[in-house]
Structure 1
Amino acid sequence: MAASVNPTVRRRRLGSELRRLRERKGLTAEEVASRLLVSQSKISRLENGRRSISPRDVRDLCQVYGVEDERVIESLMTMAKESRQRGWWHAFGDVPYSVYIGLEAEATVVRNYESLFIPGLLQTRDYAEAVVTGMQPEVPAEVVDQRVNVRLARQARITTDERPMRFWAVVDEAALHRQVGGNKVMGEQMRRLLEMSELPHVTIQVVPFDIGAHPGMTGAFSIMSFPESADADVVYLEGVTSDLYVERPMDVHRYTVMYEHLTAVSLGPTESRERITELADAYEAERPPGV
């Protein structure tokens, strides 16, 4: 499902290179903005990859940074052109968290922690529809369908036979007990988890109730790693009105350590499958889980 050229990753990589050139020149973003008669926020958005950049912008910045090697300039301008292309997800229309989808489409490893519901990459259609409808009851049916279709399309990153993504999911047991969509939907969702856990590149661990307080109680997050060494890990935090992308190495390290703690206190993969099987049996028998 990933496009041959990923515009989100290209923007991020280009922004990182432009930041490196600016810092090598000893200039602040404010100084660059002043020279180009643009806002400082524009320079910041270009450097963090949250805004597309034109080849003309690249050439102007290269002049300010004293870049004279035409091969370097041409390479950066090519990246700028590629960063303005449209990813596969744009075919679905205006999709929320499109930046995240672009990063996920390129990631080779995603470590995800969820506390309230099943990770999107592991959801069935019925479960996904119930989640979207329940979380956003004001959204029209056609928009719900659009968002569910995008979510299912994203799953190709772990179901494809070619270069599948390594997916590690740590799920709080509370998410397995929350009856989204009813017993039938939950029973099918538990069976999907068991099916996906058999894939060699997918690991699912459950944080059991009896572990008590744990580091993940601050909220859900994902850590994405990429194939190119130039693309540093990114931590994604989903918000109601906006999303947060954590990229500072020190902050990413803190989330990485937090994830290691979560995997340590969780049930192992085999024990997790046993717990999920118990829940699947309970839902299918239409009795309260744990009874």
Structure 2
Amino acid sequence: MADKFDNYDAEQRAMIDWLTGRSPDARHAIAEDLNFDFAEDVFEWILTQPDCDLATAASYFWRAGPLERLEHPDTFEEDNLTLKRLVDRVNAGFYRRSEIYYGGQELWEGEQVCSWTIAEAEELREFARAHEASNLPWTLPEALVPPFGHRSVRILDEEDPLKSEELRKLFAGLGTGSGQFPASLMEADPPPRSLPQPTPHPTIGERIATLRSSAFTPLYLYLAFVAAGWGLIYVFDPPRLAYNVMIICTVHFGLMTFGMVRAGMKRQAEKRAAR
């Protein structure tokens, strides 16, 4: 393994060790499911292999949300550097192998090409046209726009996470699937001796009692009536007469509600004055 990968944490080194000597198809299948948050170095290793398939590079590129990264370069500075290295390799012809079919990230049933990926590609082109390309950290490499490739991925059973217990454990160590979290995340600070106590919440009975004693209860009920009534009319589109009846009820009950709220506030003021 190259020296530049010697400082990777144990979980990422374990995955790279497992991938070493595997086919480009196996590496592609693994990269499709790797967790971006815990496997940055594994991705870098996969994407810099001389026989890495173009579909693997494209999958990483589109999963990374390229448009958002380009629109907010200050927020995603590190991500843009990673994407720039990838784009530079694509433009330099590094990914000469292009066998695995790639149709985009989210293929609906019956789709051969992901419409979302195609739409984002056009948005990236428009963004580049609206801004001088020289001022952008990178621009869309057309070689990554699907579709391309001519066959599906070919992997062994031992390279399938659904069939390999060893592979499931490796994925779990990198935050994918179920299992233990990476050891690097387990070194958390000890909890403080005195934890803040949660704010006590009133019981349902207490909430009802409070609601009943509120001067604004009639207003709440009136608003609920109006919302429900007009909602039903909107959904079922009844005869014109129903609209007229609802308008009359809304006005009539509105006046009644105003009077009840006003009377309730007056009673509460009298109670406070009597204390």
**Which structure's residues are more often strand, by fraction?**
1
Q: Is the shorter-chain TM-score for this pair beyond 0.5, marking a shared fold?
A: no
> Could you say which structure has the larger radius of gyration?
2
- TM-score, length-scaled by structure 2: 0.28
